[in-house]
Structure 1
Amino acid sequence: MSSHDPVPSESGGGAATVDMLAAALRRDAADLEVYAQVLTGALADALPPGAVTVERKRGMADRLAGREGKVARLEVALGEQRLVLDLSGSRPGGEVCKEVRGVVLSRRPVELDEWVRELAEAVAARAASDARARAALERLLLGG
């Protein structure tokens, strides 16, 4: 895979892309506040409108400074899969849900690494058939 073609076509290389995407998504995970900001921006670019929902917590300092506040919860809905990341506690909590027509059929709590892997797989699958998602994924993988 060349540096000019970081996102393979549907014909192959999917596992390598998922690994690369998962690494890119983990890149800023040490600082959860920065991680949440980067992740929400990258996902908003890569996914269709309405697929990403962000809940923020604004303190008085945020209100006075006109800031949006910290990301407290992130939800990504792709097809029948809903990935939830709760950043409001001392440790991030992930959840992978199967949802059909707005009804959650199953919920599975996961650690941050597994949540990122699930997200990478879902975004890579989306990018295989969506040019906008593929372009956003390339920007994320190349750090741009």
Structure 2
Amino acid sequence: MTSPHDPLPFEAGGEADSVDLLTAALRRDAADLEVYAQVLTGTLSEALPSGSVTVERKRGMADRLAGRDGRVERVEIFLGERRLVLNLTGGHPQGEVCNEVRGVVLSRRPVALDEWVRELAIAIAARAQSDARAREALERLVLGE
């Protein structure tokens, strides 16, 4: 177990390397969007404070009958004044990075999936510097445990 002041295992090469490794881990399952959405939402819900991750799902009749949650259509991640939105409808992921203060969106920028993942990695790495629970979850994500 690490203390909040120990470097993360993926921080050895510095902050840029940490973000690159975290970006790679977040991007790992992106080829299959459904798997990617499940892994992303599960990991982030565990790593971030309650209410930081909002997931919208679409449940078909088969999902209801089987007791499944349904397909992830939209993910919103709130980290301080940054809101990251990933829309997965239509089979083509569309990312958006917003700067928000007290619920008011000051800027909104559409981004490709790769840039969205990198923005997410930067925000999560910053969060992990001060939050032990986030650090532990991110270590499991990066190390594949």
- Aligned residue-pair number: 139
Deviation of residue 45 (structure 1)? Answer: 1.3
Instruction: Write out aligned runs for 1:105-124 (5 A).
Output: 105-124=106-125
Relative to structure 1, the CA distance from residue 26 to residue 54 in structure 2 (aligned partners, 3 Å threshold; closer, same or farther) is same
Deviation of residue 7 (structure 1)? Answer: 4.2
How far, CA to CA, are the matches of 1:125 and 1:114 in structure 2? 17
- The percentage of aligned residue pairs carrying the same residue is 75
Does 1:8 find its partner at 2:11? yes
Unaligned runs of 5+ in 1: none
Question: What amino acid sits opposite 1:98 in the alignment?
Answer: N
Q: Which residue of 1 aligns with 2:4?
A: none
**TM-score normalized by structure 1?**
0.93
Q: Which residue of 2 aligns with 1:29?
A: 30
Q: Which residue of 2 aligns with 1:86?
A: 87
RMSD: 1.5
Structure 2 residue matching 1:108: 3-state secondary structure: strand
**TM-score normalized by structure 2?**
0.92
How far, CA to CA, are the matches of 2:47 and 2:19 in structure 1? 14
Relative to structure 1, the CA distance from residue 134 to residue 61 in structure 2 (aligned partners, 3 Å threshold; closer, same or farther) is same
Runs of 4+ in 1 over 2 A off after TM superposition: none
User: Comparing both structures, which one devotes a greater share of its residues to helix?
Assistant: 2
Unaligned runs of 5+ in 2: 1-6
